[in-house]
Amino acid sequence: MKLKKSLALFLTGGLIAGILAGCGPKSEPGSSGSGEQKDSTVIKIATQTPLSGGSATIGEAIKLGAQLKLDEEKAKFKDLGFELQLVPYDDQADPKKGVANAQLIGSDKSILAVVGHFNSGVAIPSSEVYEKYAIPMVSPANSATDVTDRKLKTVNRIVARDDFQGPAGAEFAVNTLNAKKIFVVQDKTAYGTGLAEAFIKAAEEKGAEILGFEGITVGEKDFNGVVNQILSKKPDLVFFGGIYSEAGLLIKQSREKGIDVPFLGGDGLDSSTLVEIAGDAVKNTYITALAGDSTKTEEGKKFVEKYKSTFNKNTESYSVYGYDTMGLVLKAIEDSIKANDNKMPSREQVRDAVRATKDYQGVLTKVSFDDIGDNDFAKVFIYQFTEVSYPPEAVGEINK
Contacts of 148 (CB under 8 A, 6+ apart): 155, 156, 157, 161, 372, 373, 374
Residues 318 and 363 sit within 8 Å (Cβ to Cβ): no
- Whether residue 25 is predicted with pLDDT greater than 70 in this model: the reply is no
Count Cβ atoms below 10 Å from residue 359 Cβ, excluding itself.
9
List pLDDT tens digits, range 303-347: 999 999 999 999 999 999 999 999 999 999 999 999 999 999 999
Is the same domain home to 119 and 227?
A: no
Q: What confidence category does residue 28 fall into, taking pLDDT thresholds of 50, 70 and 90?
A: very low
pLDDT over 80 (residue 37): no
Q: Is the pLDDT of residue 294 over 70?
A: yes
Q: In this structure, is residue 57 part of a structural domain? A: yes
Reported as a single tens digit per residue, the pLDDT across 341-368 is 999 999 999 999 999 999 999 999 999 9
- Residue 35 in domain: no
**Residue 36 confidence (pLDDT) above 80:** no
Residue 386 Cα distances to 261, 317, 383, 393, angstroms: 14, 17, 10, 7
Same domain? For 261 and 274 the reply is: yes
Whether 81 and 221 map to the same domain: the answer is no
For residues 283 and 326, membership in a common domain is answered with no
Please determine, for residue 23, whether its predicted confidence score (pLDDT) is greater than 90.
no
Determine, yes or no, domain membership for 22: no
Sheet hosting strand 137-139, strand order edge to edge: 83-90, 42-49, 111-116, 137-139, 155-157
Tell me how crowded residue 183 is: count the other CB atoms within 10 A of its CB: 25
Number of domains in the chain: 2
Q: What is the pLDDT of residue 296?
A: 84
Q: Residue 13's pLDDT band (boundaries 50, 70, 90)? A: very low
> What pLDDT sits at residue 30?
34
pLDDT at 137 over 90: yes
**195 and 151, same domain (yes or no):** no
Please tell me the distance from the alpha carbon of residue 300 to that of residue 297, in angstroms, as a whole number.
5
Is 277 a member of any domain? Answer: yes
- Per DSSP bridges, beta strands 285-289 and 263-265 are parallel
Range 54-62 average pLDDT? 96
Q: How confident is the model at residue 105 (pLDDT cuts 50, 70, 90)?
A: very high
> Average pLDDT for residues 117-146, to the nearest whole number?
97
Q: What is the structure's pLDDT at 19?
A: 37
Say whether both 271 and 195 belong to one domain: yes
- Percentage of residues of the chain with pLDDT beyond 90: 86
Whether residue 123 contacts residue 142, with contact meaning beta carbons closer than 8 Å, is answered with yes
Section 200-218 average pLDDT: 97
Could you tell me if residue 117 is inside a domain?
yes
Task: Quote the percentage of the chain above a pLDDT of 70.
Answer: 90
Same domain as 114, residue 69: yes
**pLDDT at residue 39, rounded to an integer:** 52
Does 44 share its domain with 136?
yes
| Residue 261 and residue 305 share a domain | no
Whether residue 177 is found in the same domain as residue 149: no
Is 242 in the same domain as 203?
A: yes
215 and 323 together in one domain: no
pLDDT in tens, 160-183: 999 999 999 999 999 999 999 999
Query: For 212-217, what is the mean pLDDT?
Result: 97
Mean pLDDT (the chain, rounded): 91
Q: Is the pLDDT of residue 140 over 50?
A: yes
What is the span of the domain harbouring residue 263? 163-289+382-399
CATH code at position 65: 3.40.50.2300
Q: What is the pLDDT of residue 40?
A: 74
Within a domain: 14: no
- CB within 8 Å of 149: residues ≥ 6 apart: 372
pTM check: above 0.75: yes
Is the pLDDT at 29 greater than 60? The verdict is no
Element (H, E) at 130: helix 120-133
